[in-house]
Structure 1
Amino acid sequence: MSQQMTTCRVPTAGADLEADVHLPADARGVVLFAHGSGSSRRSPRNRVVADVLHDRGFGTVLVDLLTADEERLDAVTHELRFDIGLLADRLTGILDWLHARPDTANTPLGLFGASTGAAAALVTAAARPQLVDAIVSRGGRPDLAETALSAVQAPTLLIVGSHDESVVDLNQEARTAMTAPNELLLIPGASHLFGEPGTLDQVADRAADWFSTHLTTLPS
């Protein structure tokens, strides 16, 4: 399949952010990634998921939600990675940017969030229900989306390692606040970062299955 990957700067919420935009010809949908705490668009775990999505005919956008200066500050303070409002504002701006592009304006859009990035993805989905068709969370903190959970309309898959017990509990609690169709998938034997052999492959396959099912209609 013919594919095109470009690195560009995206203006959003007062910052110009680096993004890797990978668009197959005739993409069946585009998935925007929100990385987790202390990570970046180069997250090797998100790259594994993105590669499987490419094989399934999806485009992907992996973006740094913090500027280089902010990343240096956050490496010391660990504050910005938990600023869900800031991360969600920037993710929403990138989603709007995608919807405004001629090559993706009529393409179904999904969100893939990891750790605190999952909370930002859910807040963005609540803010732009007409644009987001599906969500997948990997080891996410949906509880940090707080009141936005009840406003999410997109079908949501919450993937957690079975050994990540505290995060399992947080995901189960978050589901009680959600009204959108949702599922909690536990990957047997996996910890928070899915470093155990084969567990990240399961995440990627199930995420691709979820988007294949739900990114089938054009945004309204």
Structure 2
Amino acid sequence: MDEQQTVTVPIGDAKLPADLRLPGQPAGVVLFAHGSGSSRHSPRNVAVARTLNDRGLGTVLADLLTPVEDEVDTRTAELRFDIGLLASRLAGIIDWLATARPAGDVPIGLFGASTGAAAALVAASSRADRVAAVVSRGGRPDLADDALAQVRTPTLLLVGGLDEEVIALNEQALTELGDVAELRVIPGATHLFEEPGTLDQVADQAGTWFTTHLSR
């Protein structure tokens, strides 16, 4: 059975809404970290999540800012680049998944887009015992700074072939991540993967990465 429910995850003083979708007996669960200025309703992340569901994986799309914080960020854009805050919220949701076990006792993966990829990598470095795989879509892993060298989790970096600046930033990050990471370029794609078929390639490669590493 594939059912979606909206849950509230308590993280310290914050209460974060999250959409949880679970196929019957999921092989793992993937937590999404959206990019700057986006939300759990990001159509691109929702599309990728559906592909992962079709592969037998549970998904969690969560808002990492409270409604009040989101209001502030809409005006100032200051919180969307607060990687420390976003990573701490992700870590809190990871702990909730591991202890409350809404998806059962299954491996956890992280899918990060844009700045959310940096937050995912920082969270993975601090929760290495709980995070089994990471995928970055058009991500800014360079914003994870010193945490990059601490990542021990298998990490797939997916970048659009026309997104030259982000390719360069991912190549730099790859030297810090070392053997745990792999960089793949999606031909003909720009930063948002809006070109026909490019997001499908992201979803397909992410699905294979997660099913491979979350089953180990």
TM exceeds 0.5?
yes
Identity %: 60
Stretches of structure 2 that go unaligned for 5 or more consecutive residues are none
> Which residue is equivalent to 2:146?
147
The separation in 1 between residues aligned to 2:92 and 2:13, in whole angstroms, is 10
Is the partner of 2:176 in helix, strand or coil?
Answer: coil
1:142 positional shift: 0.2
**1:150-161 superposed matches below 5 A:** 150-161=149-160
SS in 2 for 1:113: strand
Question: Quick one: distance in 1 between partners of 2:90 and 2:104?
Answer: 16
**Residues in 1 aligned to 2:11 and 2:96: alpha-carbon distance in whole angstroms:** 8
- TM-score norm. by structure 1 comes to 0.96
Is the contact between residue 65 and residue 87 of structure 1 (CA under 8 Å) also seen in structure 2? yes
Q: How far off its partner does 1:104 sit?
A: 3.5
In the alignment of these two chains, the number of paired residues is 216
SS at match of 1:179: helix
Distance in structure 1 (CA, Å) of the matches to 2:127 and 2:17: 22
SS across alignment from 1:125: helix
**Paired position in structure 1 for 2:200:** 201
Q: Where does residue 79 of structure 1 map in the other structure?
A: 78
CA contact (8 A) 1:34 1:117 kept: yes
In structure 2, what is the Cα distance between the partners aligned to 1:125 and 1:19? 19
TM-score under structure 2 length normalisation: 0.97
Asked if 1 retains the 8 angstrom alpha-carbon contact of 2:28 and 2:107, the reply is yes
User: Which aligned segments of 4 or more residues in structure 1 are displaced greater than 6 angstroms?
Assistant: none
State the match for 2:46 in structure 1: 47
CA contact (8 A) 1:21 1:61 kept: yes
Trace 1:64-213 onto structure 2 (pairs within 5 A): 64-213=63-212
Q: Aligned-pair distance for 1:23?
A: 1.2
Deviations for 1:72-118, whole angstroms, at most 9, x for unmatched residues? 11112111000000000000000000001244352011000000100
Counterpart AA for 2:30:
V
- String of CA shifts for 1:36-67, please: whole Å, max 9, x gaps: 00000000000110000010000000000011
Structure-2 residue corresponding to 1:27: 26
Listed as ranges, the gaps of 5+ residues in structure 1 are none
